[in-house]
Amino acid sequence: MNEIIGYIFIVAGVVFDFFGCLGLVRFPDLYNRLQAATKCVTIGTCGIMFGVFIITGLSPSGIKALLIILFLILTAPTAAHALARGAHKSGVKLWEKSICDKYEEDAD
């Protein structure tokens, strides 16, 4: 029974990973790609890790999987935030059909 629930979590995680990487290819500019990829791939990998935790139970592997979940949820948004700020300061423009860019207006 535990194995079936764990496999369901793993399949959900792999499907979310796939959608995230598809967004990385399809979206037109850097910020949209960063949004799709960061959200989907982080939660997808956390789903895979939760599946591993359910299958192995409270063993060394399970504790390590929980530690990886905590670490990924804390660090992946920080990395995305740093990359977006660095890209904007290095002069990457938004998509040409964007609505507004308040950060560009306030930069001077």
Pick 5 or 59: Cβ nearer another protein: 59
Size of the site for another protein (CB under 8 A): 78
Among 5, 8, 18, 57, binds another protein (CB under 8 A): 18
User: Dihedral sign, CA of 75, 76, 81, 82?
Assistant: positive
CA distance 51 to 6: 4
Alpha-carbon gap, residue 20 to 36, rounded angstroms: 6
Considering only residues 54 to 93 of the shown chain, the ones binding another protein according to CB under 8 A are 55, 59-61, 63-65, 67-68, 71-90, 92
- Does 4 contact another protein by CB under 8 A? no
Binder of another protein out of 1, 4, 25, 108 (CB under 8 A): 25
Whole-angstrom distance, CA of residue 44 vs CA of residue 11: 9
Out of 42, 54, 57, 108, name the contact with another protein by CB under 8 A.
Answer: 42
CB of 48 to another protein, least distance (A): 5
By residue count, the chain amounts to 108
CA separation for the pair 5, 28 (Å, rounded): 37
